[in-house]
A and B are shown apart, each in its own frame.
With several copies, the nearest count.
Chain A
Amino acid sequence: MTLKEAEIIIEALIFAAERPISCKDIGDLLELKQSTVEALIEKIRERHGEGALMIRSVAGGYQFVTKPELAPWIEKMGRPVISAPLTLASTETLAIIAYEQPVTKAQIEEIRGVRSDSALNNLLERGLICELGRKDGPGRPILYGVTEKFLLHFGLRSLDELPPISIRSAK
């Protein structure tokens, strides 16, 4: 196998790998030194210099992706556009998370009195909430909080700016 052949094979491996493939894995497969593999990947990068693709180094491996400046076109092409507003269940859940965060699913469900899985998933998908880590204690449940996107949407600088709640005043 010549170096040129190795370069082409590496290009194919990076393209076809199901997850980012590491320098070591490539080296093992082709019986090449990692430094050689790295040099060859540089060559592939150069070859793609003017094209749409680039090799990204991510998660301990290499991966072909489109260059970032092309993202708007790809978005325009494929992603399904969802224009449905939040459901009542999701809005309730969002309200609780905004005020109670960090908060677990169980706590949310206790307040709402119903299961809230799909509401949580929907909010996660929309990027309005995120996982903040795990609570110490049995089962180590996930803690949820709102995202910057949430703050941006409501024009809040921080959560301190949420309207104060006084239960007494509620009818």
Chain B
Amino acid sequence: MGYVVQLDAYEGPFDLLLDLIVKNEIDIWDIPIADITQQYLEYLHSLQVRDLAIGGEFLVMAATLLRIKAKLLLPQEQIGLEESEEEEDPREELVELLLRYRFFKEVAVFLRDRYQASVYYYDRGNRTEELDVTPVYTNLVGDITLNELAGMYRELLVEAQREPPIHSVVQRVSVQERLALVRIQLMGQSSVSFGQLLQNNTASEIVVTFLAVLELVRLGEIRVLQEKPFGNIQVRPYALEMEVMG
């Protein structure tokens, strides 16, 4: 057929199949499976030749195509029946999947066009104006009185004047320990601020916590988000699968 394998990366096996169907000007309801399977396998082969990894999904689809091809090749006992009972066509399920995928692919193109149209509308630039983000405190200090405030200050002074602790335990924290602690802190949370992880930490603990967070990012357990420079850093567990296992 002289079909030239398109070397673009495909989004997946459906994408590849749809492309083959378009290229060959095939009626999607009547796919010549033998032919398409051949071209599909040729494409995979071309990837292999170029030493490119073939996704498992592509191999699964290859198996499906071969299975459908085999079914179609089986001798039809009642040839007349095939026309009337279309749902027995082994290709039908595949066609449904392809059409469903094709619809969403079309929507993706629609969305891309909408995006391109909407980027020409600029909204107000100074969005984080103080006026808009400052919370309103209806209860500024609660019902604390001035005398209570004074009393609190006095007690703090008294407390501060007590003799300092004679000995302090120097604790060394390992990254592994801290890793475990951070995992515990993140358990069941959708998002924790980096500051929260550091609360009440000494300088060396902060360093170790930071290392632990980096390690967790490397392990793919969390991701770290910072929406603006110097903004709040959010730590988010990636996979909540652990929760399911545990």
Contact = CB atoms under 8 A, between A and B. Distances in A.
B104 A111 contact: yes
B125 A15 contact: yes
Contacts of A140: 244
Interface in B17-71: 28-29, 55, 57, 61
Contact of B106 (A68, A89, A163): A163
Contacts of A170: 28-29, 99, 154-155, 157-158
Contact of A112 (B112, B115, B140, B156): B156
Interface in B110-136: 110-112, 114-127, 129, 131-136
A29 interface: no
Contacts, number: 236
A129 B116 CA distance: 20
A18 B126 contact: yes
B199 interface: yes
Given A82-B138, A111-B104, A19 B118 contact: no
A81 B138 contact: yes
Given A111-B160, A155-B117, A91 B11 contact: no
A154 B111 contact: yes
Contacts of A70: 122
A149 B227 CA distance: 15
A131 B238 CA distance: 12
B146 A154 contact: yes
A84 to B, nearest CB: 7
B2 to A, nearest CB: 24
Nearest to B153: A95
Interface string A119-159: 00100011110010000000110100000010001111000
Given A88-B112, A95-B108, A112-B14, A81 B200 contact: no
A20 B121 CA distance: 13
A168 B99 contact: yes
A84 B100 CA distance: 28
Nearest to A163: B150
Interface in B135-186: 135-144, 146-147, 149-150, 152-161
A48 interface: no
Given A92-B156, A154-B118, 10 more contacts: A58-B118, A79-B125, A79-B134, A95-B152, A111-B101, A112-B11, A114-B55, A155-B114, A167-B99, A168-B99
Interface of A: 12, 15-20, 56, 58, 63-66, 68-71, 74-75, 78-86, 88-89, 91-92, 94-96, 98-99, 110-115, 117-118, 121, 125-128, 131, 139-140, 142, 149, 153-156, 162-163, 165-171
Interface of B: 11-15, 28-29, 55, 57, 61, 96-97, 99-101, 103-108, 110-112, 114-127, 129, 131-144, 146-147, 149-150, 152-161, 190, 195, 199-200, 223, 225, 238, 240, 244
Q: Which 5 A-B pairs have the closest CB atoms?
A: A85-B142, A155-B118, A114-B12, A68-B120, A95-B107
